[in-house]
Amino acid sequence: MAGTGVISASMLYAHLTCPHRVSMDAHVDPALRDPVSPFVEMLWERGTLYETEVIARVGQPFLDLSGLEGDEKERATREAIARREPLIYSGRLSDGELLGVPDLLRFENGGYVAIDIKSGAGAEFLSEDESAETPFKPKKTYGVQLALYTDLLARLGVSAGCYGYIWDVYGVEVRYDLKAPLGPRTPSLWEVYLECRRAVGEALGQPGVTRPAMTSTCKPCVWRSACAKTLRESEDLTLLPELGRARRDVLATEFPTVRDLAVANLERFFQPGGKKTTFRGIGPETLRKFQRRAALLQEKDPQPYIRKPWTAPSGDYELFLDVETDPLRDWCYLHGVVIRDGTQGGREHFEAFWMETLTPVGERDAFASVWNLIRSRPGAVIYVYSAYEKTQYRKLAARYPEVCSVEEVDALFGPGGRVVDLYTGVVRPSTEWATEDFSVKTLAKRLGFKWRDTDPSGASSIQWFDEWARTGNGTVKQRILDYNEDDCVAMRVLLEGIKKLPVRPD
């Protein structure tokens, strides 16, 4: 464990995930931490397990320093480097304020490069178009860690060059060229690293240089209760749905609190022509939208409303569709559908299409079954909540073209198709709720719906699936099915709630 003032690779990772995290870890009483979520614990376990598996089948001799700790480990690493060991596992390097424990150090091109083993994809997938020039781009969170190890190797005078490797979950060795620009107007990973290193050093140096912000990254974070308390006490702007850290930082000088934004005369900030405001990257419509949300929160008994009338499309059946995926194994393991039968007075039932075997055939069969259901109900309206189902179905169609084509998925989800994305099409553009986010969980709960499970979340579902995958436990599988069914019912509750919202134009 690094002492105060020491910058480690995990701190750079944490900083990119949330710029306030390092400060909380360094300066706040650990007693205020929430318990680590089972989902995060599972990620750690999976990471360790995967690393052990990879090391067990590395296929060439290597020096294993994983049994050593601290100074002893570092001394052994330096000695191994001095005698040019070809491959060093679990070494330790430090210099000045930097400390790194790269998974592997490999001797090549007259020096050493760092290799990290990751139980995720080695790069971000950008395009399904195989002819695209850059269908993948490196992950910054991986890149800054490799950059720290490379910095240490360079300081010790033994670096093979400004690059490193990720050994990823697909068994691919992905090269990270740290000085290559990430895009025409984007800095290189090395520049990202230098900025992270500076910011982490500053955050470690004194408390209060960073601020919390209510974002989706808070959900699995151990500081979520502590930060939420601070944010609510200070009426922080990030309590407004979708405002986020970057906009808060731009707006905070003029509007330190939700109350300040609610009562402000916005005209003062509109530039001549009315198309821009004095706030970088925030247009007049966006500013008005957040003022609307701030004003609603100031009301005594704030009630949700819709800004213009909306009529749900009619169909003989309505399908409320929700998929569950395991991003670590890259499986889409469940398609849950609540089917409401308009021809039978709105009677409804739940159907689940489960990946029975952890194989491509298992995934394909589940997809084929739900696709058959969709095809067999050509007059049905299909409700989803977010673009996630479309993204998944495009991916599955590309993977299993014998089930359906990507074009068929596009036709179903695209303009003129039968799918209604309640979140993107209705909730976001037309409704206000006086809540801190617009997730289906938050809004359905606002309407009085209760999940049967005590810990309902997508992250929990992934963790339960992991348990089922390892044990085949039927109780765990049923827990996932119940949770997914409740998600689908919640969507129906939300649809009915939206239909009853009072219309309140701006």
Per CB under 6 A, residues contacting ligand SF4 are 18, 20-21, 24, 212-213, 217-218, 221, 223-224, 227
Q: How far is the CB of 224 from ligand SF4 (least distance, A)?
A: 4
Q: Which of 251, 412, 400, 395 minimizes the C-alpha distance to 327?
A: 395
Q: How far is the CB of 21 from ligand SF4 (least distance, A)?
A: 4
The nearer residue to ligand SF4, 123 or 222, going by C-beta atoms, is 222
Say if CB 451 and CB 501 are below 8 A apart. Answer: no
Say if CB 407 and CB 474 are below 8 A apart. Answer: no
The nearer residue to ligand SF4, 33 or 276, going by C-beta atoms, is 33
For 2, other C-beta atoms within 10 Å of its C-beta total: 18
For 80, other C-beta atoms within 10 Å of its C-beta total: 19
Q: How far is the CB of 236 from ligand SF4 (least distance, A)?
A: 10
Q: How far is the CB of 144 from ligand SF4 (least distance, A)?
A: 17
Q: Which of 351, 358, 390 minimizes the C-alpha distance to 372?
A: 351
Q: How far is the CB of 16 from ligand SF4 (least distance, A)?
A: 11
The nearer residue to ligand SF4, 42 or 213, going by C-beta atoms, is 213
Say if CB 114 and CB 150 are below 8 A apart. Answer: yes
Cα separation, 470 vs 40, whole angstroms:
17
The nearer residue to ligand SF4, 205 or 429, going by C-beta atoms, is 205
For 423, other C-beta atoms within 10 Å of its C-beta total: 20
Say if CB 99 and CB 8 are below 8 A apart. Answer: yes
Say if CB 260 and CB 240 are below 8 A apart. Answer: no
The nearer residue to ligand SF4, 123 or 227, going by C-beta atoms, is 227
CA distances from 277 to 75, 213, 291 (A): 58, 23, 14
The nearer residue to ligand SF4, 200 or 213, going by C-beta atoms, is 213
494 alpha-carbon distance from chain centroid: 24
CA distances from 313 to 323, 383, 409, 430, 489 (A): 22, 10, 19, 16, 18
Cα separation, 37 vs 459, whole angstroms:
9
Q: How far is the CB of 25 from ligand SF4 (least distance, A)?
A: 8
Cα separation, 391 vs 397, whole angstroms:
10
The nearer residue to ligand SF4, 138 or 212, going by C-beta atoms, is 212
Say if CB 208 and CB 197 are below 8 A apart. Answer: no
Q: How far is the CB of 20 from ligand SF4 (least distance, A)?
A: 4
The nearer residue to ligand SF4, 222 or 488, going by C-beta atoms, is 222
The nearer residue to ligand SF4, 14 or 282, going by C-beta atoms, is 14
Cα separation, 253 vs 233, whole angstroms:
18
The nearer residue to ligand SF4, 18 or 104, going by C-beta atoms, is 18
The nearer residue to ligand SF4, 35 or 309, going by C-beta atoms, is 35
Cα separation, 215 vs 25, whole angstroms:
18
Question: How far separated are the first and last CA of the chain, in Å rounded?
Answer: 54
262-276 in b/e burial notation, b at 16+ Cβ within 10 A? Answer: bebeeeebbeeeeee
Residue 29 phi/psi, 5° resolution?
Answer: -55, 120
Say if CB 197 and CB 7 are below 8 A apart. Answer: yes
